[in-house]
């Protein structure tokens, strides 16, 4: 009798094990691990302001493709770049570290060495460890090499050494030399018999410049931008040689779009991360002929229309490759808007009623809100429900949030895991953060903004932007006063003290010596 019971029990257990193992096999077969990893694309505009998309209230400028994504995704009304200029914002986004912790995170010349330590964690490195292929197409501006780059050899360290498997970039900005594309460390279409030489201090003998040869220009410089002339446009820095490699400015949008599309097609069968970094609407604004006149606002508006079109085409590619519901798209801008950033390009004359910063005060280079508060949204077909959030979020937070998305346990001190917010499952953002503009810092906490006193002009007359320099502290309640018109330090000294203490707890006490804004 005893024996019989045991026999039955054993059969039962064997059957149970068999069923359980079948179920496991089925599960594994149905959901292979790789398929659970979404592709990640960050589309990053250059100098696009808070008020430049229909979804953020623009009425004069039409951005239908961006609006479609923003309105179908999670749109943040308190989304921030970490800085009011390009290099520091890009540094912070990729490393998850506040840019003011790195003294070299400032607007860089085209000859600057790489400012990300090759041992430092970065988003692409973190994603690579989770099986992602990683690529960057577009603007870089984080430095290349370790000083004295030879542009005619493999240029390193660069994107590859900080985690990008593939890179197809412009080194610095569209207005800085070298005016060539660089693919995986090699200048594209370079003729070895016509080597490239670059110098940011002095010209090469006999080479024309914007300063000396105005007759050669088809775009005039307003301030700075009077060194070497490429395609009739005077640039920052001096360049010689590399004739066959020089880009055609008007083709840049099409060029990078084709590269971004090709990248997606090449890597559609594995999880990929693409950092698609647009050059628009940074100067010089050079829309393709198809877009000239498209905005009625001159080249600045036209290149925004062009960028919007590029994004529409790029999304179509994701769709036709069957990837739209497998790809998280994050869109933002590296800093706020500037209208005249150094060329006479009709941008001021033709601006009309368009307000690049919306209701915000300041602009690029400014510690007022327009410097860092930018368009910021996430889109993921069938995975993120349409919504608008006023929670505070910084591009710094992408590091830890994307790590959480791909089940990596990496994070950084400055980057917060706000994945649920990005996916529209929560409305809890950051409580506080430091913002930066041309090496000055200010503080955001809750509804409040606090700007310490800084010496220097209140307004930069060249770009016509209020920088937020003042003799005393400034304190604004952004909920009641989004345009920062009422400084509340006198009526609310307790709040000011609280803000100063919280700011200094992160930033330390800062030596606020004169911080002249050098635009050169």
Q: Does 149 bind Ca ion (CB under 5 A)?
A: no
Minimal distance, residue 462 CB to ligand NG6, in Å: 7
Distance CA 494, CA 451 (A): 15
> Is 436 a binder of Ca ion (CB under 5 A)?
no
Q: Between residues 78 and 340, which has the closer beta carbon with respect to ligand NG6?
A: 340
Which of Ca ion, ligand NG6, none is residue 520 near (CB under 5 to 8 Å by kind)?
Answer: ligand NG6
Strand 448-451 with 440-445, pairing: antiparallel
> With contact defined as beta carbons under 8 Å apart, do 423 and 117 qualify?
no
Q: Name the phi and psi angles at 12, rounded to 5.
A: -60, -45
Q: Is 38 helix (H, G, I), strand (E, B) or coil?
A: coil
Report the nearest approach of Ca ion to the CB of residue 84 (Å).
Answer: 9
224 binds, among ligand NG6, Ca ion, none (CB under 5 to 8 A by kind): ligand NG6
Beta carbon nearer to ligand NG6, 283 or 392? 283
Nearer to ligand NG6 (CB atom), residue 51 or residue 121: 51
Q: Which residue is nearest to Ca ion (CB)?
A: 86
> Could you say whether residue 40 binds ligand NG6 (CB under 6 A)?
no
Q: Beta strands 39-45 and 272-277: pairing type?
A: parallel
Q: What is the full DSSP assignment across 373-405? A: B--EEEE-TTTS--EEEEEEEEGGGHHHHHHHH
Residues 79-98, one symbol each (x = binds ligand NG6 by CB under 6 A, - = not), give ------xx------------
Site for ligand NG6 in 306-335 (CB under 6 A): 335
To the nearest whole angstrom, how small is the minimum distance from the Cβ of residue 108 to ligand NG6?
Answer: 8
Q: How many residues bind Ca ion (CB under 5 A)?
A: 5
**Helix or strand or coil: residue 453?**
coil
The only residue of 52, 249, 306, 341 in contact with ligand NG6, by rule CB under 6 A: 341
CB atoms inside a 10 Å sphere around CB 211: 13
In terms of CB distance, is 86 or 162 closer to Ca ion? Answer: 86
224 binds ligand NG6 (CB under 6 A): yes
The rounded distance, in Å, linking the Cα atoms of 48 and 25 is 50
Cα separation, 164 vs 127, whole angstroms = 10
CB 139 within 8 A of CB 171: no
Stated as kind and residue range, the H or E segment containing 131 is: none
Please state the closest distance from residue 315 (CB atom) to ligand NG6, in A.
25
Q: Which residue do the tokens 């460390």 mark?
A: 185
Please give the residues from 33 up to 62 whose contact with Ca ion meets the rule CB under 5 A.
46-47
Number of residues lying near ligand NG6 (CB under 6 A): 19
Single out the residue of 143, 178, 298, 342 in contact with ligand NG6 (rule: CB under 6 A): 342
- Rounded to an integer, what distance in angstroms lies between the CA atom of residue 140 and that of residue 251? 18
Supply the minimum distance, in Å, between the C-beta of residue 436 and ligand NG6.
12
């Amino acid at each position: 009798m005893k024996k019989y019971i045991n026999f039955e029990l054993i059969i039962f257990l064997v059957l149970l094990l068999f069923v359980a193992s079948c179920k496991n096999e089925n599960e594994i077969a149905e959901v292979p691990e790789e398929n659970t990893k979404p592709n990640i694309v960050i589309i990053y505009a250059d100098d696009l302001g808070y008020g430049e998309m229909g979804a953020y209230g623009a009425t004069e400028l039409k951005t239908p493709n961006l609006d479609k994504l923003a309105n179908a995704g999670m749109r943040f009304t308190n989304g921030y770049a970490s800085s009011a200029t390009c290099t520091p914002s890009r540094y912070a986004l990729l490393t998850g570290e506040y840019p003011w912790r790195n003294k070299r995170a400032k607007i860089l010349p085209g000859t600057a060495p790489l400012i990300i330590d090759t041992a430092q964690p970065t988003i692409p490195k973190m994603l690579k460890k989770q099986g992602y292929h990683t690529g960057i197409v577009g603007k870089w501006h984080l430095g290349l090499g370790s000083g004295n780059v030879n542009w005619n050899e493999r240029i390193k360290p660069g994107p590859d050494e900080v985690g990008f498997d593939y890179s197809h970039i412009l080194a610095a900005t569209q207005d800085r030399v070298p005016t060539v594309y660089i693919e995986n460390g090699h200048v594209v279409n370079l003729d070895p018999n016509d080597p490239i030489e670059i110098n940011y201090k002095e010209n090469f003998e006999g080479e024309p410049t914007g300063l000396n040869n105005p007759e050669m220009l088809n775009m005039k410089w307003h301030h700075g931008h009077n060194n070497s002339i490429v395609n009739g446009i005077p640039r920052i820095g001096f360049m010689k040689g590399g004739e066959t490699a020089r880009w055609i400015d008007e083709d840049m949008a099409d060029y990078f779009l084709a590269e971004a599309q090709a990248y997606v097609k090449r890597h559609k069968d594995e999880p990929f991360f693409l950092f698609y970094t647009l050059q628009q609407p940074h100067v010089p604004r050079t829309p393709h002929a198809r877009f000239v006149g498209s905005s009625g606002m001159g080249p600045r508006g036209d290149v925004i229309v062009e960028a919007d079109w590029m994004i529409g085409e790029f999304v179509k590619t994701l769709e036709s490759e069957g990837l739209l519901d497998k790809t998280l798209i994050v869109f933002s801008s590296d800093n706020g808007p500037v209208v005249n950033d150094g060329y006479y390009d009709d941008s001021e004359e033709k601006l009309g009623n368009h307000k690049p910063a919306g209701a915000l005060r300041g602009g690029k280079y400014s510690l007022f809100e327009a410097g860092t508060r930018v368009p910021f949204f996430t889109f993921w077909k069938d995975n993120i429900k349409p919504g608008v959030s006023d929670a505070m979020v910084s591009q710094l937070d992408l590091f830890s949030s994307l790590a959480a998305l791909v089940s990596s346990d990496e994070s950084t001190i400055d980057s917060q895991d706000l994945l649920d917010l990005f996916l529209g499952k929560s409305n809890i953002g950051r409580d506080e953060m430091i913002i930066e503009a041309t090496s000055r810092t200010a503080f955001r906490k809750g509804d409040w903004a606090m700007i310490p006193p800084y010496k220097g002009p209140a307004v930069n007359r060249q770009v016509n932007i209020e920088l937020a320099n003042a003799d005393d502290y400034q304190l604004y309640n952004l909920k009641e006063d989004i345009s920062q018109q009422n400084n509340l330090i006198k009526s609310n000294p307790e709040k000011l003290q609280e803000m100063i203490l919280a700011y200094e707890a992160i930033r330390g006490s800062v030596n606020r010596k004169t911080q002249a804004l050098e635009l050169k």
